Chain A
Amino acid sequence: DAMVIQNPRYQVTQFGKPVTLSCSQTLNHNVMYWYQQKSSQAPKLLFHYYDKDFNNEADTPDNFQSRRPNTSFCFLDIRSPGLGDAAMYLCATSRDGTGYTFGSGTRLTVV
């Protein structure tokens, strides 16, 4: 089945220690997104790749970066995680903004 896969499902990292979350897709969608969802809050878009073009949201902290080495993979790098970065991170894909499909998410804990 075509899908969006996020690894790992649960990630524990130390305060200030860089961490990378990964997302892969078999849908051949050209757009990939990263959302952050904190408890009882709406998922918040951090950035997205439209093909190879990176689009950062204005209020996304510099601490968050992303890489998309090819169509299928996208990574979220948190350079120096703080306690406030603990959240569920959702990867999604679409074909030119339609057919949004989400992965199961990675729950990040910062200790």
Chain B
Amino acid sequence: DQQVKQNSPSLSVQEGRISILNCDYTNSMFDYFLWYKKYPAEGPTFLISISSIKDKNEDGRFTVFLNKSAKHLSLHIVPSQPGDSAVYFCAASAYNGGATNKLIFGTGTLLAVQP
């Protein structure tokens, strides 16, 4: 049962244009969402996050939008750069009483930014 879904395995975008990566989730208890970026042979690195009390969070070229009613979030990268080419993972967690928040990951989207 895939609780976090990234339905696009890959995305190709021209340099300078907008990249939009999508993520859907099924568990209504999720209250915190994160995006990770992963280069080959490296571990995921944190990119940006959003709490369920917000619908938008922006950090430089990266903006994450959350639509709770649709259980959907998206990551916008503007403008896209060749160095953004990587696999992007969406992850979600649910508060569980102050113990540990386990991250549930999507399968990732491979972004290729063409020069």
- Contacts from A to B (Cβ < 8 Å): 4, 6, 9, 31, 33, 35, 40-45, 48, 50, 55, 90, 92, 94, 96-98, 100-105, 107
The chain B residue with its CB closest to the CB of A30 is: B100
- Measured between beta carbons, the chain B residues less than 8 angstroms from A43 are 44, 89, 105
* Residue total for B at the interface (Cβ-Cβ under 8 A): 24
Q: Number of contacts between A and B (CB, 8 Å)?
A: 61
Q: Closest approach, in angstroms, between the C-beta of B93 and any C-beta of chain A?
A: 7
- Measured between beta carbons, the chain A residues less than 8 angstroms from B43 are 4, 6, 90, 92, 102-105
Interface residues of B in 36-54 (CB under 8 A from A): 36, 41-46
A48 vs B19: C-alpha distance when bound (angstroms): 34
- Measured between beta carbons, the chain A residues less than 8 angstroms from B34 are 100
Scoring B residues 81 to 115 as 1 if CB is less than 8 Å from chain A, else 0, what string do you get? 00000000100010000111111111110000000
- Measured between beta carbons, the chain A residues less than 8 angstroms from B9 are 40
B100 touches A100 (CB 8 A): no
- Contacts from B to A (Cβ < 8 Å): 2, 4, 9, 34, 36, 41-46, 89, 93, 98-108
Question: B46: which of A45, A97, A101, A104 is its contact (CB, 8 Å)?
Answer: A101
Whether A96 touches B98, Cβ cut-off 8 Å, given contacts A42-B107, A45-B103, is yes
B2 touches A96 (CB 8 A): no
A-B contact pairs, 18 of them (CB 8 A): A6-B43, A42-B89, A42-B108, A43-B44, A45-B104, A48-B100, A90-B44, A92-B43, A94-B100, A96-B98, A96-B99, A96-B100, A100-B34, A102-B36, A102-B43, A102-B45, A104-B41, A107-B41
